[in-house]
Structure formats: structure tokens, C-alpha cells
Amino acid sequence: MISLYQNDTIAALATPPGRGGIAIVRVSGSGARAAFDVLFKPAGKQTVESHRMLFGRIYDGDALIDECMAVLMLAPRSYTREDVVEFHTHGGDQVAHQVLEALYKIDVRPAEPGEFTRRAFLNGRIDLSRAEAVMDLIGAQGELASRAAVRQLTGGVSAFIRALQEDVTDLLAGVTAALDYPEEIEEDEAAGETAVKSRALAEKLLAACNERAARLLDTGFEVALCGQPNVGKSSLLNALLCEDRAIVTSIPGTTRDIVRGSLLIGGLRVNLSDTAGIREEADTVESIGIDRARSAIKNADLVLLLLDASQPLSAEDEALLQETATCPRQIILNKCDLGEAFSLPGALKISAATGKNIDAVRALLSEKAGIPSELPLTSERHMRLARKAAEHLLSAAIALENGEPLDLAAIDLHTALETLGEVTGDRVDEKLLDSVFSRFCVGK
């Protein structure tokens, strides 16, 4: 565990390991400048100054490691607000590894996961919600998730929370004034007004938490393709992915295991699961596949139930319609190119074979995912704190509505304020920081 205040010198590979054009080794701390001077020799007569990229050679003692670029970023104009050095060497694991080994010989230690960003937070360059956004951005699955992370990184969450903190502070000031000057301020009136405002703030916080949307941004929208054997589930999967992912044959029972594929629709990651056709008579292997299909249906955010439009609706189809009736579901009538033997209200008519209406299926998936364009809170930790703060605001409102003494409500308002402070990191302890930054990768 890293202690809260520390500025010894740390180093890590900031680029992904493996083969690549360049590898960047990042160094931060009080010894970064010295490390730069010891390891790096600029070519020719270049002046060494902060924020200037230099070309030269990097050494481990007398041994030449590589020709590389290096940049010194002196405090406080750096990512961590400490002195930072970056060595841009040739890619591949060897060179960067040798640079790190040379650094470890001169009082530089390997960085912990997220330690650079942790220092940026501890040195006051960014608040906690913005630090967390760095990792969300790196791990973002799709454009919508990255947009939400950038909004958080540029202070969207902080601004939202800070505005609420100011509102709660105003309420507290009002309550305190009423307590301090009972002869000037009518207590009932103050209580009534505070209760209304407190309730409104709680509602605003709760409205900012959309767990479902936050989860979809994080892990993607889960869609299960199901139906009887041979209705064209695998054909639809392939058509949506624009590739030959699953085996398609005219033999019913072709797909047994779940076949997965992901695609981006409107900036959102959509995870498709093609499943075994559901029917009564099946051998052992197929039966296991059918069990898996049923559990995919249960876990899906949306079930696409495929029916063969060219054949009259069978008793088995009716049973599947019944079975999926309570799921979030869209009925798809496939094989429309062969004719339409029946129709169902709200069903989408397609042909996976000719590609007819496949774009409509994509549009429908994006619409059913229903991610609001503005999502104030998208992190699990922020939503948990927002709900907790809302609980205290509500409990303050209820106390005031029931004529309880003002100072009782003041305690709840205080706790709400402190809880909001945990989002931005006004109030943190080491355990919280460890849990936030342990999600990070080394070098960030």
C-alpha cells in the first residue's frame, strides 16, 4: 500500500507491452530530473528545457540502450504536477525493460497501478471523479461510453455534484440561521421551505442515477437471438455482424453452443448471442445447448424471438411466444422473401438471406437500448453515494415535515453534504483511494 503523501520517484511503461513503433517510459517525482540527466544524452547542441522534445541516446551506465526522444516536463506543468520525464524509445519489450532497469538502479521504483493519476489527484490537479474518468476512458467500449468518460474527465460530474453541494450548503445555512435567531426567523416557515427544497434535491440526485444505462455503457447491451431450429437465427447473427461467424445449414439443430459476436451500433457496444433452436426432441448435446439458450434468454437485455414467416404459426412457436412474453422482447418474422403466412402486431419483417430490413434491426437495437444522451452519473461508486446522499436529504425532509426539531434535520443535511464530498474526493481516506486506483493499469 502506498502512503497518502509521497513524492519519491516512480517509473513505468506507459504504452502497452509487446511489439509496436514506440514504447514510452514515464518517470515522475523529485528525482525525475536527475534520472533524465543521468540516463539521457541529447544529440548536438540542443538546449534542455521543459516541455521540449529532444533527440539523443539513452544509456545504462556506459552501455548504450537506444536512440530515442525524451521530454522533461517540470512541475507543476505536468500530468502529476511533479517533475515528469518521458523516454520515447523504440517499441518492443526489450528496450523499455532496459530503460526501467537502468532507472531502478538510481533510486527510482516501479509505479503501482494508477499511481501517476493518484499523484495528479493528491497534488490537486484533478478531483477524484475526474481521476476515475481517466480509467473509464481507457477502458471505454464504444463511443457512447467514451463520451460519458470524457464528460466526467472534463469535470461534468464534478460540476453537477458541486452545484448540489452548494444547494445543500444553502439549506444548512438557512437551518443554522433559524436555530441561531429564533426570535427573528419563524421556525415553522423555515422548516417547511427547507423540507420542500431538500426533497427536490433528493429527487434530482435519484434522477441522475440510471443504473441500467450505466451498466450498458460499461459492459454493452446483451441481445439473445432465439427461436425454433432453422428459423434463421445464425443467419441473422451473420447478417448483423457482416461476417460468416456462425455455421448456417438447412439442417434443423445446427447451432448447439452459444455463438457470440459484438458490434457497435450508434456508439453503443451490442453483444449478440446466437442460441440453439428450442425444440422438444433433442439429443443430449442439443439439450444442453437448449438449456444454455434458455439462460441466455433470461440474462438478456433484449430477446429477439425469430419466427419463420413463410410457414403458418406452429404450436411450438405459440409456446415460445408464451415463454418469452414476460421478457423484454422483439418479435422478428424472418424469411419474408419466401412469403408471409401470418403476421403479428409489432413484429419486424425481415429476410436474413436477402438482407431486407437488417438496418431496421440495427435501428431497433439502438432504440431499445434507450441510453439517454445526457447521463450525469455513470459510475457505480458515484451512484451509490448519490443514493446515500438522497436518502439523508429525504430523511431531513421527513423530519421537518413531521415537526421534528431543526437540529435533527441539520445532522442529515450535514451527512448528505459529506457524502457528496466523497464523489469529488473532498473527503477521502487511503482505503477509498486504494480501491479507486487499484482498477487502473500500471503506467497511468
Positions touching ligand GTP (CB under 6 A) are: 227, 229-235, 248-250, 252-255, 276-277, 334-335, 337-338, 351-353
Whichever of 50 and 254 has its CB closer to Mg ion, that residue is: 254
**From the list Mg ion, ligand GTP, none, partner contacted by residue 9 (C-beta under 5 to 8 A by kind):** none
- Phi and psi (nearest 5°) for 425? 90, 20
Whichever of 7 and 255 has its CB closer to Mg ion, that residue is: 255
How far is Cα 365 from Cα 380, in angstroms, rounded to an integer?
24
* Closest distance to ligand GTP from the beta carbon of 289 (Å): 9
* Closest distance to Mg ion from the beta carbon of 366 (Å): 24
**From the list ligand GTP, Mg ion, none, partner contacted by residue 142 (C-beta under 5 to 8 A by kind):** none
**From the list Mg ion, ligand GTP, none, partner contacted by residue 232 (C-beta under 5 to 8 A by kind):** ligand GTP
Whichever of 220 and 229 has its CB closer to ligand GTP, that residue is: 229
Whichever of 142 and 289 has its CB closer to Mg ion, that residue is: 289
* Closest distance to ligand GTP from the beta carbon of 11 (Å): 52
Strand 268-274 vs strand 302-308: parallel, antiparallel, or unpaired?
Answer: unpaired
**From the list ligand GTP, Mg ion, none, partner contacted by residue 419 (C-beta under 5 to 8 A by kind):** none
How far is Cα 21 from Cα 26, in angstroms, rounded to an integer?
16
CB-CB contact of 132 with 152 (8 Å): yes
- Pick the stretch among 168-176, 254-262, 334-342, 352-360 that binds Mg ion (CB under 5 A): 254-262
How far is Cα 334 from Cα 317, in angstroms, rounded to an integer?
13
How far is Cα 95 from Cα 23, in angstroms, rounded to an integer?
8
- Pick the stretch among 69-77, 163-171, 233-241, 281-289 that binds Mg ion (CB under 5 A): 233-241
Angle of helix 156-180 versus helix 187-208 axis, rounded to 10: 170
* Closest distance to ligand GTP from the beta carbon of 249 (Å): 6
* Closest distance to ligand GTP from the beta carbon of 102 (Å): 57
Find the Cα–Cα–Cα–Cα dihedral 386, 392, 398, 402, rounded to 10°: -170
Q: Where are the beta strands (DSSP E) in 190-234?
A: 221-227
How far is Cα 253 from Cα 233, in angstroms, rounded to an integer?
11
Whichever of 71 and 288 has its CB closer to ligand GTP, that residue is: 288
- Pick the stretch among 78-86, 164-172, 195-203, 252-260 that binds Mg ion (CB under 5 A): 252-260
The position carrying cell 544529440 is 43
What track of x and - describes contact with Mg ion for positions 175 through 214 (by CB under 5 A)? ----------------------------------------
Pick the closest to residue 212 from 331, 383, 326, 364 (CA basis): 383
- Pick the stretch among 27-35, 140-148, 234-242, 431-439 that binds Mg ion (CB under 5 A): 234-242
Residue 377 is classified by DSSP as B
Pick the closest to residue 6 from 23, 28, 27, 25 (CA basis): 28
**From the list ligand GTP, Mg ion, none, partner contacted by residue 299 (C-beta under 5 to 8 A by kind):** none
CB-CB contact of 76 with 68 (8 Å): no
Whichever of 80 and 230 has its CB closer to ligand GTP, that residue is: 230
Q: How many CB atoms lie within 10 A of CB 185?
A: 15
All residues at 6 or more sequence positions from 20 whose CB lies less than 8 Å from its CB, including other chains: 91, 92
How far is Cα 338 from Cα 293, in angstroms, rounded to an integer?
27
What track of x and - describes contact with Mg ion for positions 102 through 141 (by CB under 5 A)? ----------------------------------------
**From the list Mg ion, ligand GTP, none, partner contacted by residue 335 (C-beta under 5 to 8 A by kind):** ligand GTP
The position carrying cell 445447448 is 289
Whichever of 254 and 311 has its CB closer to Mg ion, that residue is: 254
Whichever of 233 and 382 has its CB closer to ligand GTP, that residue is: 233
**From the list ligand GTP, Mg ion, none, partner contacted by residue 337 (C-beta under 5 to 8 A by kind):** ligand GTP
Whichever of 6 and 249 has its CB closer to Mg ion, that residue is: 249
* Closest distance to ligand GTP from the beta carbon of 324 (Å): 15
SS3 track for 344-362: CCCCEECECCCCECHHHHH
Number of alpha carbons in the 13 Å side-chain half-sphere of residue 251: 5
* Closest distance to ligand GTP from the beta carbon of 302 (Å): 17
For CA atoms 41, 45, 49, 53, the dihedral sign is negative
Whichever of 74 and 358 has its CB closer to ligand GTP, that residue is: 358
CB-CB contact of 210 with 372 (8 Å): yes
The reply on whether position 234 binds Mg ion by CB under 5 A is yes
Contact residues for Mg ion, defined by CB under 5 A: 233-234, 254-255
